[in-house]
Structure 1
Amino acid sequence: MSPHLRLLLLLLLLLAAAAALCRGAPPAGELRCRCPRAVSEVISPRRLARVELVAEGPHCAVPEVIATTKQGQTICLNPSAPWVKLILTRILKSSTREN
């Protein structure tokens, strides 16, 4: 195999490796939204183990509501859905009673 062909193959291999790294997971600490899509369909509160509200900020321009089911599935909820607003209101009321 000629030296030019070897160099060309090496460059193509490096280019492919760089492209794979760019498409991989973001580096730790990168600021970005955690919810690319959010659902509005009603999910029974009995199925939910945890609901997390992530306020808007430099990481994301919109607030995010991230629910974890009792089975461990993570679901992004639409914060403007009426049923999600109701759940958040109840959580906030219960947390102010505890303090």
Structure 2
Amino acid sequence: MRFIAGCLLLLLLVSSLSPAHGVLEANNVYLRCRCTKTASLPISLKFIARVSVFPPSSGCSVLEVIIWLKNKSALCLNPKLPWTQHLLENIHNLVKNSQLPAPVKTKKT
């Protein structure tokens, strides 16, 4: 009787550990929002190292704007604020107007 109860308990435990959550996060599909709080103070461009914009999805119904500062910290911005929209427009214009050089292949000898 103990053996059957132990097997059933082990089966229940194994079946409750779903690998789907890890697979979805590995493929950049999140089941929840990344931002719980948003910063409302303007941040100067000279402190920003990287900007990521995550559109609404099935796991999070809001647009998320995350910036990484040069000191390696990350901040979530409120996408409804005028200065955040202005920042996104500036970045969009920079990307649209920039011309990336063609890749150069070097021959190794």
- Measured against the shorter chain, the TM-score band is 0.5 to 0.7
Tell me the alpha carbon deviations over residues 3-40 of structure 1, each in whole angstroms, 9 at most, x when there is no partner: xxxxxxxxxxxxxxxxxxxxxxxx53351100011111
Whole-angstrom distance in 1 between the partners of 2:57 and 2:92: 20
Superposition CA RMSD, Å:
1.4
TM-score of the superposed pair, with normalisation by structure 2: 0.61
**1:70 paired to 2:50:** no
Identity %: 34
Tell me the alpha carbon deviations over residues 65-96 of structure 1, each in whole angstroms, 9 at most, x when there is no partner: 00000000010011111111001001111222
In the alignment of these two chains, the number of paired residues is 73
Letter in structure 1 aligned against 2:93 = K
Structure 1 gap segments, 5+ residues each: 1-26
TM-score of the superposed pair, with normalisation by structure 1: 0.67
More displaced stretch, 61-70 vs 39-48: 39-48
More displaced stretch, 83-92 vs 28-37: 28-37
Deviation beyond 2 Å, 4+ runs, structure 1: 27-30
Structure 2 gap segments, 5+ residues each: 1-20, 100-109
